[in-house]
Each structure stands twice: as C-alpha cells, then as structure tokens.
Amino acid sequence: MKRLSQTLMVAGSVAILLGSLDPMEGSLLILPGSGLVALGAHLGQADPQTTKFWLTLFVLNAVGVGELWQLTAFGGFGGNSGHSLWWGVLILPYVAGWVLAVARILATVAEFVVTRVRSRRAGPQG
C-alpha cells in the first residue's frame, strides 16, 4: 500500500507541475493531480495534518475550477462579456489551491534534496 501511495503522490505532483505551465488550460491536470496527492496521502496514512492539507487543496481546486468552467461557459468576465470583473473573485479558491500545492511540492522536493546531500556528506555509518 505504501508503494501505491507514493506512486499516486508523485503522479499527482507531476500533473500539478505540468498543469502549472498554463494554469487555465492546465486546470484539467491540476484538479485531478491534487486529488491524486490527497488520495495518496490518505492511503499512505500520512500524518493527519498532511492528509487534511491536501484534501483542503483538492476542495479549493474543485470549487475554483468548477467556477472557472462555469464562467467560461457563460462567456467569461470583464471586457465585452457583460459580466463585471468582480465575477473573477469566484476563481480565487482555485488560485489559492494551485499556488499552495506548487509551493508544498517545491518545499518537499527541496527537503528531499537537502536530506540526500546531507546523508552523502556524512558518509556510511558503521
């Protein structure tokens, strides 16, 4: 189960980072990616804070992406759409969820790299 959990979390993280190349179109990758990471954290029995964090990000992304797609279906907002720019506030949960997810992934990768470098410098114990 640990292997499946790690695979889900890595696949989800890669999907989030790839979707970040174009966050609007990439919402098709970012939303399921955050869901995969949340599922991986849950299945891997990560500490409750980590699982709760990723579940919260998934919910933020789901709400924001849902609103993004709904606004798109109704012609967008601002400009000649007939909808005030204030309608853009509805997609803020997606922006927050996406930015926090990328920050957490990058922090985790940095922590992993630092740990590896330190362990190599320490050399074999024995």
* pLDDT grade for 120, boundaries at 50, 70 and 90: confident
Mean pLDDT of the chain: 92
Burial of 71: CB neighbours in 10 Å, binned 0-12, 13-18, 19+: middle
Residue 57 has pLDDT above 80, yes or no: yes
Q: Cα–chain-centroid distance for residue 3?
A: 20
Average pLDDT over residues 53-69: 96
Which range marks the domain in which residue 15 is found? 2-122
Q: For residue 125, what pLDDT is reported? A: 65
The number of folded domains in the chain is 1
Answer yes or no: pTM beyond 0.75: yes
Residue owning tokens 């470098």:
117
